[in-house]
Amino acid sequence: KAGVTQTPRYLIKTRGQQVTLSCSPISGHRSVSWYQQTPGQGLQFLFEYFSETQRNKGNFPGRFSGRQFSNSRSEMNVSTLELGDSALYLCASSDPSRTSGREQYFGPGTRLTVT
């Protein structure tokens, strides 16, 4: 099976702009999670989607939002970008047919730089 893909891989934006990142999960995986990785805060959970519904949300401001489509592909959007949003954004998919606590398969990430 093809792995998790994320587009774009690199992105440079200016403060105040908005950005949309895309994630295609492994075929058959209906759960998609997003994480932010920064040198200061490490890896932090953003949100999880399952069957087009947000199932879980991390402690991030409302500027961060996401959605999932019927084909399980997911997008996340960050509005009114701040310098602190510069990070590696990682998407992960998992197979909900497994028992809870299943492992997640990560994409290569999108490196967002806000100037």
Partner 1 sequence: SQQGEEDPQALSIQEGENATMNCSYKTSINNLQWYRQNSGRGLVHLILIRSNEREKHSGRLRVTLDTSKKSSSLLITASRAADTASYFCATVETSGSRLTFGEGTQLTVNP
Binding-site ranges for partner 1 (CB under 8 A):
4, 31, 33, 35, 42-45, 48, 55-56, 58-59, 88, 90, 92, 100-109, 111
Bridge partners (DSSP) of residue 21 are 76
Minimum CB distance to partner 1 smaller for 54 or for 80: 54
CB of 6 to partner 1, least distance (A): 8
Nearest residue to 53 via CA among 68, 75, 34? 68
Task: Encode burial over 32-65: b for 16+ CB neighbours within 10 A, e otherwise.
Answer: bbbbbeeeeeeeeebbbbbeeeeeeeeebeeebb
CB of 21 to partner 1, least distance (A): 14
Minimum CB distance to partner 1 smaller for 9 or for 15: 9
CB of 28 to partner 1, least distance (A): 16
Minimum CB distance to partner 1 smaller for 31 or for 68: 31
CB of 60 to partner 1, least distance (A): 12
What value does the CA radius of gyration of the chain take, rounded to a whole number of Å? 13
CA 54 and chain centroid, separation: 12
Minimum CB distance to partner 1 smaller for 70 or for 98: 98
Nearest residue to 106 via CA among 51, 9, 39, 25? 25
